[in-house]
Structure 1
Amino acid sequence: MFVCICNAYRDSEIADAARNGARSACEAYEALGNGPNCGCCLDTAEDIVQQVRGAADARDTALPAKTLA
């Protein structure tokens, strides 16, 4: 679905940007090539980023810590 009409960004594109390291909606938009325009979509985009980042953070903490020998 389209999240940002001004930039024609889809939820999947925002999620991909978050998987690639974006930690906020604005960072995701910058990674996609444009910052936010009117701003109406930022709450939804931020929710997507936080969902993806939360899943990634949970996955990272579930992995066993490496020990130095």
Structure 2
Amino acid sequence: MQVHINHQPHELPDGATLADAIARLEARPPYAAAVNLRFVPRERHAEHRLEAGDRIEVIAPISGG
């Protein structure tokens, strides 16, 4: 199935989870993740099933001053 991760198209297997999408990016904590503009808590990433067309955002915090 095709999804968009950080505005880029990615092909994931049917039944993929948010954790699978994050693994595709090789993201390192800390980060936050949202599917279709809805925040998904880290403890739910492995159980949050994706659907074709989902838009996933993985965002790292920015610090500065």
TM-score, normalising length: structure 2 = 0.33
| Richer in strand (by share) | 2
Length-normalised TM-score, structure 1: 0.32
Larger RCO of the pair (alpha carbons < 8 Å, separation 6+): 2
Instruction: Judging by fraction of residues, say which structure has more helix.
Output: 1
